[in-house]
Amino acid sequence: MKEKIDEYLQEIDSLKANTKDELEQFRLRFISKKGVMTDLFQAFKEVPNEQKKEYGSQLNVLKEKAQEKFQELIDEVNSVKAQDEAQSIDVTLPSPSNTGSIHPLTKTKNRVIQIFERQGFSVAEGPEVEDDFHNFTALNFPENHPAREMQDTYFITKNPDTLLRTHTSNVQIRLMEHGKPPFRSIMPGRVYRNEAISARAHCFFNQVEGLYVDKKVSFKDLKQTLYHFSKEMFGKDTQVRFRPSYFPFTEPSAEIDISCFICKGDGCKICKHTGWVEIGGSGMVDPNVLEACGIDSGEYSGFAFGMGIERITMLKYQIDDIRLFSENDMRFLSQF
């Protein structure tokens, strides 16, 4: 009997169970009423009285050991199962929840804001549905002047005084009519023009306009501000060129060109082999605009500029179709 008990103790010690079946085998052999323990207790009855004490305690040790081991094996099998479950998750599969990415226009807008904020500009916003005064009249567009036609305007049929703003210059007026100089703000926002939609033009797009009004602001401040912006946005070696132009609200006015940062001025498809690309318009705020907002144009002067956010983004990422920005095609958006 002693040998049997020792043998079982050893067997219990060395046993391992990884599966539920092996666990069940153990239970049947050592725990259940039909197992070896019942046989041993049966045999114990035949043991002479003087040996009962010794064998009795050995049997109890074996029984306890069996129960302890059984609990251990249960824990083991459960942890193997948990591991298996963890391994059955394919971590290389794409995540089921798509967190999305930042829209390329938002990326450009944020970067533009960051560059100008570092130069002391704050961000101002205004309404997209605007009245004639803030979109045209206060900006020195004479009544019935063809300049109004420069910007194919969406008028609200029921009230021709109401329109969708054609530029963010309306925010200049809203800032100046209610505040006191100095003003140093940029104004990002969506604008609308009644244009045929093509790869190069859309009936809505985004602009960022800048306005700086203070005593003694000159064209040299405008140039320096835009030099800095262009180098930060398009790279250190970027050159800036001002081309004479016309806007009713600035005098003098100039288009802003930057040297093509793709071919470095050598000529390529993007710059149509000129070495230069246009990024916006600019100029010194016309005194009539300051006066329309109640600002003394003898004391104050200012500059303004306006750039297309789509245009900058298309140049920066070499995107050749403006429609991509508003089509919500994941194949396009997920690249940013």
Chain residues 235-254 in contact with ligand PHE, contact rule CB under 6 A:
247, 250
For residue 144, give both structure tokens.
């019935």
Task: With CB under 6 A as the rule, give the number of residues binding ligand PHE.
Answer: 11
Residue of 104, 181, 188, 281 interacting with ligand PHE (CB under 6 A): 281
Q: For tokens 């041993």, what's the residue?
A: 40
Report the residue number, 58 or 282, with the smaller CB distance to ligand PHE. Answer: 282
* Closer by beta carbon to ligand PHE, 58 or else 169: 169
Using CB under 6 A as the binding rule, whether residue 209 contacts ligand PHE is answered as: yes
Distance, CA of 99 to CA of 104 (rounded, Å): 16
Residue 185 or 282: which CB sits closer to ligand PHE?
282
150-189 residues near ligand PHE, rule: CB under 6 A? 167, 169
Report the site for ligand PHE in 114-153 (rule: CB under 6 A).
none
CB 208 within 8 A of CB 309: yes
129 in Cβ contact with 123 (< 8 Å):
no
State which of residues 108, 153, 185, 282 lies at the interface with ligand PHE (CB under 6 A). Answer: 282
* Given 175, 240, 293, 304, the residue binding ligand PHE (CB under 6 A): 304
Give the count of alpha carbons within 13 A of 201, CB side only: 9
Please state, in angstroms and rounded to a whole number, the distance separating the CA atoms of residues 92 and 240. Answer: 48
* Comparison of 37 and 255: residue with beta carbon closer to ligand PHE: 255
**Residue 55 CB partners (closer than 8 Å, separation 6+):** 1, 2, 5, 44, 47
Contact between 23 and 74 (Cβ < 8 Å): yes
Q: Within 10 A of 50 (CB to CB), how many other CB atoms are there?
A: 7
Closest-by-Cβ residue to ligand PHE is 306
* Residues in contact with ligand PHE by the rule CB under 6 A: 167, 169, 209, 247, 250, 281-283, 304-306
